[in-house]
Amino acid sequence: MNVQEVRKMFPILDQQVNGKPLVYLDSAATSQKPKQVIDKIDDYYRRYNSNVHRGVHTLGTYATDGYEGAREKVRAFIKAKSTEEIIFTRGTTTAINLVASSYGRDNLGPEDEIVITPMEHHSNIIPWQQVARTTGATLKYIPLQKDGTIDLKDVEETVTDKTKIVSVMHVSNVLGSINPVKEIAKVAHKNGAVMVVDGAQSVPHMSVDVQDLDCDFYAFSSHKMCGPTGVGVLYGKKEHLEKMEPVEFGGEMIDFVGLYESTWKELPWKFEGGTPIIAGAIGLGEAIDFLNEIGMDNILEHEHKLAQYAISRLAEIDGVEVYGPKERAGVVTFNCDDVHPHDVATVLDAEGVAVRAGHHCAQPLMKWLDVTATARASFYLYNTEEDVDAFVNALIKTKEYFGDVFG
């Protein structure tokens, strides 16, 4: 399938914004949804909307099959051993919070350390700050190299036998760097720690095998991978999940309830209190079918080419600084001399080009880069070289607009 055929599957892309054809370069924030995902959710609400795991009636059976079928699709997509290891959450943030609140609180004490990096998204910083505060554990950071990459020597030096949890993003939402999480997991395990991976920017863009990475927990969001908002996944090794306490209590997650004591369902349901995100999970399952049809290796290669093309075109404009290493996923973060990134994004928007501006939920990384904010263009399977050209041409207009401040 070529990119023009792929584009036809995304109805939202076929529109004008501010009188110009839409060029959507903000997929790292949230991706667009193909028609088949929209139709699948519509079909659920029109034909078999019903609660799951409860009734014996026919619609309830369809809904349960759809929901549990989606769990199996997720399992196969990230190559987990068993559906017991796949927990539906609201997204990456909730998934990491679950690990921090359950595993973190029960396994950390004042002598222990949690190790993360300064490039993490706030969702992979604040839960650990909170657990460190409540348990007395120490939060430590693996230093970054000048280009924003992680050197394994620094991992070896930072992770010690006091470390109980190492949590690192697989792909940076700002720098686009692809972190060596498999090697970091080896260092974590050698020291007796568990490895948590924030996969929000990797699962949508590349083939991920959680068993090969040998991570203990892996978190990601549906809305960044062509699926609906409001649903995400926590993968966890069964040996850990079995020992962990739920963090949400109520309906759906119980086995027996007495007046003073209750017991929990088996995995994975003990972590899914309340009516689950049924339509969301079914939509995510359809998004996985769609991504599999295109092929994750094709998606990665396509985005890699677009990012390299964008970087080479940006080099033509004086005053544009691009952050991050040369080898990267489909994210290009930049600044234009003294022009505030919000102003850059506003002028680009007037040209129909949607990019993100701000701190990208990575304030410690902004501090490390010594900037208050940046602009970011992020690419996905539906973007084209023409999108990159439109973006660069709009940036040239921005330069003309801001005159002396820029370049």
Catalytic residues: 361
Q: Is 173 in the site for ligand PLP (CB under 6 A)?
A: yes
Q: How far is the CB of 88 from ligand PLP (least distance, A)?
A: 13
Q: Please name the residues in contact with 153: beta carbons below 8 A apart, sequence gap of 6 or more.
A: none
Contact (CB, 8 A) for 64 and 53: yes
**Length of the chain in terms of residues written:** 407
Q: Is 26 in the site for ligand PLP (CB under 6 A)?
A: no
Q: Is 121 in the site for ligand PLP (CB under 6 A)?
A: yes
Query: How many residues line the site for ligand PLP (CB under 6 A)?
Result: 14
Angle separating helix axes 385-402 and 296-314, nearest 10 degrees = 30
Please say which residue, 50 or 92, places its beta carbon nearer to ligand PLP.
Answer: 92
Instruction: Single out the residue of 201, 333, 378, 383 in contact with ligand PLP (rule: CB under 6 A).
Output: 201
Helices (H), 191-295: 210-213, 238-241, 278-294
Task: Give the pairing type, strands 331-336 and 320-323.
Answer: antiparallel
Q: How far is the CB of 28 from ligand PLP (least distance, A)?
A: 6
Helices (H), 20-123: 35-43, 58-78, 92-99, 105-107
Q: Is 270 in the site for ligand PLP (CB under 6 A)?
A: no
Instruction: Single out the residue of 32, 92, 374, 378 in contact with ligand PLP (rule: CB under 6 A).
Output: 92
CB hemisphere CA count around 27 (13 angstroms): 28
Q: Is 93 in the site for ligand PLP (CB under 6 A)?
A: yes
Instruction: Single out the residue of 31, 107, 123, 383 in contact with ligand PLP (rule: CB under 6 A).
Output: 123
Q: Is 149 in the site for ligand PLP (CB under 6 A)?
A: no
CA nearest 238: which of 77, 80, 67? 80
Q: How far is the CB of 201 from ligand PLP (least distance, A)?
A: 5
Segment contacting ligand PLP (CB under 6 A): 79-87, 130-138, 193-201, 209-217? 193-201
Q: How far is the CB of 119 from ligand PLP (least distance, A)?
A: 9
In this structure, the dihedral spanned by the alpha carbons of residues 307, 310, 314 and 315, taken in order and rounded to 10 degrees, is 70
Q: Is 221 in the site for ligand PLP (CB under 6 A)?
A: yes
Task: Look at the block and give the residue holding tokens 């005053």.
Answer: 319
Segment contacting ligand PLP (CB under 6 A): 56-64, 74-82, 121-129, 346-354? 121-129
Instruction: Single out the residue of 155, 181, 200, 234 in contact with ligand PLP (rule: CB under 6 A).
Output: 200
Please list every residue from 331 through 390 that binds ligand PLP, using CB under 6 A: 361
Query: Helix or strand or coil: residue 207?
Result: coil
Name the residue type at position 346: T
| Cα–Cα distance measured from residue 222 to residue 232, given in angstroms and rounded to the nearest whole number | 5
| Cα–Cα distance measured from residue 109 to residue 96, given in angstroms and rounded to the nearest whole number | 19
Binding region for ligand PLP (CB under 6 A): 91-93, 121, 123-124, 169, 173, 198, 200-201, 221, 232, 361
